Chains A and B, each alone.
Chain A
Amino acid sequence: QVTLRESGPALVKPTQTLTLTCTFSGFSLSTSGMCVSWIRQPPGKALEWLALIDWDDDKYYSTSLKTRLTISKDTSKNQVVLTMTNMDPVDTATYYCARTQGRTGTALDYWGQGTLVTVSS
């Protein structure tokens, strides 16, 4: 059974760095083809893809946010970590992690429940 769970602070201050952890089970990121993405959704707005890391430790970032994002993995802990620097109130959103079986041409087939991050002083 595949599960993913996001964790991290519920509140961050402007200019701070956000660190989110996705802890998953039911698959391994050392298995060829496995990938984890981060996606966010501001309140009442659309989904936005942020980043992806694959089994080979290749990393891909949203072109609009790439200067602020870093994605990494700890295969032994079944975790993927996303950091986002210089947080702003517009970054207030629910952040999701999700799995794909393949870097391209595959669906986000399992999602975590999401974690709401509010950026406010």
Chain B
Amino acid sequence: SYELTQPPSVSVSPGQTARITCSGDALPKQYAYWYQQKPGQAPVLVIYKDSERPSGIPERFSGSSSGTTVTLTISGVQAEDEADYYCQSADSSGTYKVFGGGTKLTVL
């Protein structure tokens, strides 16, 4: 079955830039989405269609795509950004959704 691969953890100091990658063979064909999940809460969409930001999401969140890898970038990380981040996409047919294994962002 199709898989998306994320690093288990990323650590940054406040004010630095955090980059979280997600790799998958179908990513050149299928959009990627990023969700932020804080403990005990439902996921929240922070990036859609690789690089679009929903209304209400701070400008420090951005997304990019290159080949089989997509990247979530958080510029000027704040303590409140500490959370788990999941990428999501679909298989090459577009029919079946899949999530990455999640990345725990720690703000030092």
Q: Are B31 and A47 in contact (CB under 8 A)?
A: no
Q: Are A37 and B43 in contact (CB under 8 A)?
A: no
Q: Are B101 and A46 in contact (CB under 8 A)?
A: yes
Q: Which residues of chain B (21-65) have a CB below 8 Å from chain A? A: 30-31, 33, 35, 37, 41-45, 48-49, 54
Chain B, Cβ-Cβ closest to A114? B42
Q: B43: which of A47, A63, A103, A104 is its contact (CB, 8 Å)?
A: A47
Chain A, Cβ-Cβ closest to B97? A49
- Among the stretches B10-18, B66-74, B75-83, B87-95, the one at the interface with A is B87-95
Q: A48: which of B33, B42, B99 is its contact (CB, 8 Å)?
A: B99
Give the chain B neighbours of A113 by CB distance below 8 A.
Answer: 41-42
Given A63-B96, A108-B88, verify A96-B42 contact (CB < 8 Å): yes
Total residues of chain B contacting the partner, CB 8 A: 26
Q: Are B96 and A49 in contact (CB under 8 A)?
A: yes
Give the chain A neighbours of B1 by CB distance below 8 A.
Answer: 63-64
A107 within 8 A of B: yes
Q: Are B99 and A47 in contact (CB under 8 A)?
A: yes
Give the chain A neighbours of B95 by CB distance below 8 A.
Answer: 60, 103-104
Q: A52: which of B41, B45, B97, B99 is its contact (CB, 8 Å)?
A: B97
Q: Are A105 and B101 in contact (CB under 8 A)?
A: no
Total residues of chain A contacting the partner, CB 8 A: 23
Given A46-B99, A47-B86, A49-B99, verify A104-B42 contact (CB < 8 Å): no
Chain B, Cβ-Cβ closest to A100? B97
Shortest Cβ distance from A31 into chain B, in angstroms?
Answer: 19
In the bound complex, CA of A46 to CA of B42 (Å)? 12
Give the chain A neighbours of B30 by CB distance below 8 A.
Answer: 105
A-B contact pairs, 18 of them (CB 8 A): A46-B86, A46-B101, A47-B43, A47-B102, A49-B96, A49-B98, A49-B99, A60-B95, A60-B96, A64-B1, A96-B43, A104-B95, A106-B48, A107-B88, A108-B35, A108-B88, A111-B43, A113-B41
Give 19 new A-B contacts, CB below 8 A, not counting A47-B37, A105-B49, A109-B54. Answer: A37-B97, A46-B101, A47-B35, A47-B88, A49-B98, A60-B95, A60-B96, A104-B90, A104-B94, A105-B90, A105-B94, A107-B48, A107-B49, A107-B54, A108-B43, A108-B45, A111-B42, A111-B43, A112-B42
